[in-house]
Structure 1
Amino acid sequence: MNISIEWVYKTPRGTETIFRSEEMTAEKGLLVAEDLERTGRAKSIAFTDSFDSTWTIKELKRYIKEIETEPHNITVYFDGGFDRTTSTAGLGCVIYFEQSGKSYRVRKNAPSEVLKSNNEAEYAALYLSLVELELLNVHHLPVVFIGDSQVVINQMSGEWALLEKDLSNWADRIDEKLKKLGIRPKYELVPRKSNAEADRLATQALNGINITAQLELTADND
């Protein structure tokens, strides 16, 4: 989880002003806040996450301790492809997360013969990522979902209206799964080239290549 710090600075003569930091990881933010406390000049310190939720130092410490051995700092890339000639779809997702001080990547794809359009394939790919998050035991955490589909990103974030029944049904399934897992989603739209890994997985699924893999990321393979 990324946060920003807001603190009230008080001079020895009692003059006060408010400072707000750039965004940083929760762990780094806690270190900075504890250092600010030691100066004796910080009248109050609060944290704000990317979902505009506020945290105290005590709450952030408890959060970091609770999630240390569970998947956290999660980013999901998803993509779907549809072949009109064969009426088949390919779904792909890539999940990056941290757990017990290590970084991991999960890659998953799947074919489908029951979808009717590329937009539906994109929704199905997003749902596939939620199934994988559930298998990882991700729950009650913020998660960033990144895709190159304007339709899915803008509809799921509430920017665009959902008019097509098939897509609306997928959106409902996704919202239900998010609620069940307690996941707070943040949706980000990126250019296709920035979603190449998920796109490649979707294409491989269309070509009959099934992939399910988890890798610990190190300096050698990152």
Structure 2
Amino acid sequence: MGRPLVVEADGGSRGNPGVAGYGALVRDPSTGRVLWEGAAPLGKASNNVAEYSGLIAGLRAAQRIDPAADIEAKMDSKLVVEQMSGRWKIKHEDMRRLALEARELAGLISRGGGSVSYTWIPREKNKDADALSNKGMDGRTIDRMVGEPEPEPESEPGAVGGPDPSAAELVDEIIDPAPGTAAPVPTAGQGTPTRVVLVRHGVTDFTTHARLDGRGGSDPSLNETGRAQARAAGAAVAHLLAGSSARVVTSSLVRAVQTGAAVGATIGVDAEQDADWDEQAFGDWDGASVHDLAREQAAELARMRSDAAYARPGGETHLELAERVLAAFERVVAAGGTTVVVCHRKPIMVVLAHVLGIPHDKIWRLAAAPGSLTALEVWPDGNVSVAFTNRT
């Protein structure tokens, strides 16, 4: 069993829909001590969208603290608790998308040896998360482990809907500074960096049913939700680039090709394919349910996660995957400029683990949701900075 953690989450909207924000915290249930707290503005959104966003932020933070944590998520939203517990249906498209993201995140935690449960609490017992969500609605962004200094607010406190810079807006300044402003001083080296944006494909029916779908397997297409995620990823990339040019490279697998086509259409370029960005080949496990594997072949699944030299019959080891992915990454870096790479969860994990020096048995702490963006800058002296990860 992992470490017991409690996530308290909330969200609100002044107008429903209106100026929205979320708040969340992670607490040690044995001591009551808050370990992490976060908040962020969401622009114009509904209460329920804000509440789901708070839950997702809290789960991500708990996973950062312990990827195998046993998490109890507490919320005063009966709707979110009942929907995430599977007792109520989800009809609204935005909520379905967020619920899918939360469920995938909970699935990652479960597959890592942890668990996630959901508990409704009355509003008066959720005051801390409510206070944080109001900070989000006020335009504040908070993401800190308790004990670290809280950053100064980016906008005037109380200026509802004020110009709080989002992560994407901050990266806009890195990618293409506004006319008349100085480019940011490189922190990792001098010269012009190569920018790499890693995009995970949208979901397929395999994704939603937690089935492995690697290189050499069934190669499923995007489903309706996945196509919507691909379009959203394209819009996010276009916003990030702010009119600057970029290449689009995809893996050879259908879901990445389809997502890359949506991204390329949005920024007006044709995507190229490089099969070295394909997902890991899972051999005889391709198409298998991860839940079934965790129940029936737990030892083998644990070995796959911990032993980089282990492969299923007909599949690849993590080392073999990393060799081809990093070769593809070096080709992208050598090309210079900005490249958007549309690929899969494991290749994204490989690149991040490589540039951050994360050992194989810890890479499962890296999240890459369907349709998410991760951005890196590689400087001429070889230093790398990670601008952000897992932005949806």
Q: With the length of structure 2 as denominator, give the TM-score of the two structures.
A: 0.34
Q: What is residue 13 of structure 2 aligned with on the other side?
A: 82
Distance between the aligned counterparts of 1:211 and 1:166, measured in 2?
23
Match of 2:47 among 97, 115, 118: 118
Q: Deviations over 1:187-221 (max 9, x none)?
A: 111111110000000001111233334336xxxxx
Pairwise mapping of residues 12-91 of structure 1 onto structure 2 (< 5 A)? 63=1, 72-84=3-15, 87-91=18-22
* Alignment of 1:193 onto 2:95: no
Q: How does 1:45-194 map to 2 (within 5 A)?
A: 63=1, 72-84=3-15, 87-97=18-28, 104-113=34-43, 116-136=45-65, 138-182=66-110, 183-194=114-125
Structure 2 vs 1, CA of residues 159 and 210 (structure 1 numbering), >3 Å: closer, same or farther? same
Following TM superposition, the consecutive aligned residue runs of length 4 or more in structure 1 with deviations greater than 4 angstroms are 101-104
**Which amino acid in 1 is paired with 2:95?**
L
Residue by residue over 1:133-168, the C-alpha shift from the partner in whole angstroms, topping out at 9 and shown as x without a partner, is: 2332x2233210000011101111112111222211
Give distance in 1, aligned partners of 2:73 and 2:32: 21
Structure showing greater relative contact order (alpha-carbon pairs closer than 8 Å, 6 or more residues apart): 1
When the two structures are superposed, what TM-score results if normalisation uses the length of structure 1? 0.58
Distance in 2 between the 1:104 and 1:149 partners? 21
What are structure 1's unaligned runs of at least 5 residues?
A: 1-62, 217-222
Q: Does 1:202 align with 2:133?
A: yes
Alpha-carbon distance between aligned partners in 1 of 2:93 and 2:16, rounded to the nearest angstrom: 23
Shift of 1:81: 0.7
Asked whether the 8 Å contact 1:145–1:185 carries over to 2, the reply is yes
What secondary structure, in the 3-state scheme, does the structure 1 residue paired with 2:135 have? helix
CA distance in 2, matches of 1:102, 1:79: 18
Percent of aligned pairs with the same residue?
26
Q: Which structure features the higher share of strand residues?
A: 1
Q: Which amino acid aligns with 1:110?
A: A
In the aligned structure 1, how far is the partner of 2:32 from the partner of 2:47?
Answer: 35
Q: 1:157 to 1:98 in 2, by over 3 A?
A: closer
**Runs of 5+ unmatched residues, structure 2:** 148-392
Alignment-derived partner of residue 380 in structure 2: none
Partners of 1:204 and 1:162 in 2: how far apart?
28
Q: Give, in whole Å, the separation in 1 of the partners of 2:101 and 2:92.
A: 14
Deviation at 1:98, TM superposition (A): 7.3
Alignment CA distance shift 1:207-1:187 (3 Å)? same
Say what the alpha-carbon RMSD is for the aligned residues: 2.5
Q: Is the 8 A contact 1:98 1:104 kept in 2?
A: no
Aligned residues: 144
